[in-house]
Structure 1
Amino acid sequence: MVNAARPAVMLISYHLSDIRAQSELWWEESLSDQEIFELCKKSPELRILGSSQPRLQPPPIFIISPRVIVKTGWYKLGEFESRAMEIARAQTSIPVPKPLRIFKRGDTFFLAMEYIKGRSLDWCWEDLSLWRKFVIAWTLRGYIRQLRRVRTEQIERQIPGPLTDDLSKPLKCFGPAMGAEYHCGPFSSAAALFEWLNGRLRVSQYIRERSLDTPPFVQREPLVLVHGDLTPRNVVLGDDGKLWLIDWGSSGVYPPWFEAGGMLFTDPQPSWWKWVRRLVAGWYARDMYSYVAALYGMTTGFFVPDPLVHRY
């Protein structure tokens, strides 16, 4: 049971300048995993106003204090998300919520993190001036370039997938850019990832009779750190005036054009978001042409074997 002498509402009494330090100390050093778990059962859920369609609502996110929320999830949430947030905070100036703790109860992960108050872009985008939209897009462009300069051992060794602390055991890949609601891989090298992508392209060409002239995937740049789900609902105009990137659950080490691939799945598409995508993540005309052609093999045809390996 949660100690009644430490209710979440007591945080309100602290001076604003001390809230961050006090809340971090409180959660990291005072509360056990069980106490956080019990608080989740009693706390209100955070409703994502920018999620205009019910299916875009994430798994439950609980507001357990004025400064802390707990994100829950199953196979889409893991330690890799908090790891990516910590690395982005350490090596870039991108405003990223501070992860406080992650633990597991049964099949469910619980990630406690800083609560960012504000409006997501899919809630306020159409109300913004043309100039404000451009400033936001240009800021996001800078964020992505910072991410591409991040360095970890996994990036140096060019091992694809979510960030892991055990490079001998790469993690399976997941996210909008992978196309399907399935885990792919794991891949031990960039070459293995590109071979899988070309296999999905061959499935699309075989089943959907896509043009055989579609260029295959070729690695022309090193793998980099990618957010992986850079959609308006994951960009928050904070009440503090900062532009925050949230939801790092699809992040990992991938080709740079994966950022643009993930942005294709923005639904619904705000006005001129296509141009924002190209400005922020890059044009990548050849890669995106092959990517769109391969999407059938990455989604509906995900379980169809590569025709180069399996003769029909």
Structure 2
Amino acid sequence: MILACIFEFIIILCGIYERHWFGRHGGGYVKFLPFGLVMKFNKTHGADEADIIAFVRKNTAIPVPRVLLQTRGFGRAYFLMKRVDGEALNSVWHKLDPDQKASVVPQLRLCVEQLRALQPPSSGTVCGLSNAALVDSRISSSPVGPFRNEHDFNDHLIKAASIYVDGTLLRDVRARMHDSHRIVFTHGDLAPRNIIVRRDKVAAIIDWEGAGWYPEHWELVKALYNPMMRDDESWNTAIREILPRGYEKDCEVDRQLSDRMVGAF
């Protein structure tokens, strides 16, 4: 609790002396501090992002931020990490030449392969780290799950869409959903803004709050969900090379729901 009080004091102090001092990033709030430090906090829901980062760091070679301190208190989860030197990929992608872009793609593909190689904690369960609830803006503004299997997960997607989508279409969409995908560890927001690069080298993947055990097509669903770089054909091509193929029909089915829900939350 003492550490939580210290974090809250920093929040209050910066709020007094700085206007709009926190930048929104993913589901949390971020502040860049002196000495190359970054503070982030969010509501205590699902697994702590710091725990997810530690899990990925321990079990893969994926570059992630280094967490220095973490705690919970006052209904929030806080952590302090070292800032990663580099730039967000969305700010430099258009500056990279074809060879540099071609260099980034296999690095990210290897990261995804490592995530998918992680052994799930229980067979078929769709959940956050350590069986926590899922935090996913595509589904809900609040945590959901965990779900016993993909069938229950898909049922919830239909339920979440029911106030926006006609019942006849919902039944058609549900009939075309598959309930037998592999369940794999998924970043959940593999967007260029969450990829830090130094020239054509991937320095870190950040914003792991929404990561968890999802059906194998979900990474592509989320990568294409209301993307900031929708009109950049080179990135749309790249993300399909980064992620395994064979999920286009799954994404088309999901868009029957998500296109009617964008902005709902």
Q: TM range, normalised to the smaller chain?
A: 0.7 to 0.9
CA deviations on 1:253-277 (whole Å, 9 max, x unpaired) are 0011111111113214362222122
Q: Which has the higher contact order (CA 8 A, sep 6+)?
A: 2
Q: Which residue of 2 aligns with 1:102?
A: 70
Distance 1:57 1:204 in 2: 24
Distance 1:204 1:39 in 2: 41
Contact in 1 for aligned 2:195/2:202 (Cα 8 Å) = no
Distance 1:134 1:238 in 2: 14
Q: What amino acid maps onto 1:63 in structure 2?
A: F
Question: How much has 1:201 moved relative to structure 2?
Answer: 7.2
Is 1:229 aligned with 2:229? no
Q: Which residue of 1 aligns with 2:179?
A: 219
- Alignment RMSD: 3.4
Contact in 2 for aligned 1:204/1:293 (Cα 8 Å) = no
Q: Which residue of 2 aligns with 1:113?
A: 81
Residue segments in structure 2 that go unaligned for 5+ positions in a row: none
Is 1:66 aligned with 2:29? no
Alignment of 1:195-210 (within 5 A): 195-199=155-159, 206-207=166-167, 209=169
Q: Give the TM-score of the pair, scaled to structure 1.
A: 0.69
Distance 2:12 2:162 in 1: 48
Q: Which residue of 1 aligns with 2:110?
A: 142
Distance 2:163 2:129 in 1: 29
Q: Which residue of 1 aligns with 2:240?
A: 278
Distance 1:257 1:210 in 2: 20
Distance 1:190 1:89 in 2: 27
Q: What amino acid maps onto 2:252 in structure 1?
A: Y
Contact in 1 for aligned 2:195/2:204 (Cα 8 Å) = yes
CA deviations on 1:11-45 (whole Å, 9 max, x unpaired) are xxxxxxxxxxxxxxxxxxxx944334434555688
Q: Which residue of 1 aligns with 2:252?
A: 289
Q: Helix, strand or coil: the match of 1:148?
A: helix
Residue segments in structure 1 that go unaligned for 5+ positions in a row: 1-30, 49-54, 303-312
Contact in 2 for aligned 1:80/1:162 (Cα 8 Å) = no
Is 1:174 aligned with 2:142? no
Identity over aligned pairs, percent: 19
Alignment CA distance shift 1:285-1:132 (3 Å): same
Question: How much has 1:208 moved relative to structure 2?
Answer: 7.7
Task: Provide the aligned length of Structure 1 versus Structure 2.
Answer: 257
Question: How much has 1:205 moved relative to structure 2?
Answer: 6.4
The one of 204, 207, 220 equivalent to 1:247 is 207
Distance 1:225 1:149 in 2: 8
Structure with the larger strand share: 2
